[in-house]
Amino acid sequence: MKRSFYFCWICRKEWKGQEYNGVQCENDGCGQRLKKPNALTSCKPEFKEDKLKKEGEAIYHMNDKPDRKRLALIINNVDFRNTDSRAGAEKDEQCMEQLLQTLDYTVVTLRDLSAQGMRAAMRDFAGREEHTKSDSCFVVFMSHGGPSGLSGIFDSFTEGDEEDIFSVDEIFDSLNTLHCSGLRDKPKIIIIQACRGDKSGSVDVEDSVRIQGTKQEHREKDFCCFRSSTPGH
């Protein structure tokens, strides 16, 4: 628009009011943070004590709050250069941030990275000193994808174009014992929201009540998949 644009760091709206030496702008509600509802319900102390007593040897060690520094990484690719954007992915990002923060993780959120950017982000995250005082970590990827991995923002689904792909194997490699000693013997939870091919993810099925026509259901749903080993091991 060929003019200077002033915005407020607090409410992130266009600045209103005194432009110099202002602590906050004059937008309605600026500086007032709405308290989000707790995303989790805490267990009772008795439940925790009973679990630790009966299954203590099978439970990962948990650091005490005053000393621990939990980290989580979210990479969310929304706007792509050569294909459709992932409309609505911002809401998934917000919900995941809220959940992880409630679990006492400091969340690092990055948007719209190339494969090279995702590779660098994973390398930097694995090298964070906070992991030595942590008892776990979360890594969340949200992007387009295919059989060979996760799409960077320059990826194109047109045959013949150069791929911008980040291999899922690189996530495991970045956080393994060799490259991330701070997370040795600590749970590393990886969540990936991305396609793994171009086949349709839904199938026509008859409704529970026999009527004319069918409805769409996910082809593969109600699964809970955990991998006990990293690829190749």
Which residues are designated catalytic? 144, 195
Alpha helices by DSSP H, listed for 178-224, are: none
Q: Which position has the token pair 């091991």?
A: 233
> CB atoms < 10 A from the CB of 120, how many?
13
How far apart CA 232 and CA 187 sit, in angstroms, is: 19
CA distance 24 to 8: 7
3-state percent breakdown (helix, strand, coil) of the chain, nearest 5: 25, 20, 60
Q: What are the start-end ranges of the E strands in 52-209? A: 70-76, 105-111, 137-142, 145-146, 149-151, 165-166, 188-193, 202-205
Burial level of 141, CB count in 10 A (0-12/13-18/19+)?
Answer: buried
Residue 127 backbone phi and psi in degrees, to 5:
-90, 0
Tokens of 206: 């008859």
Contacts of 68 (CB under 8 A, 6+ apart): 104, 133, 134, 135
**Tokens describing residue 104:** 């006492």
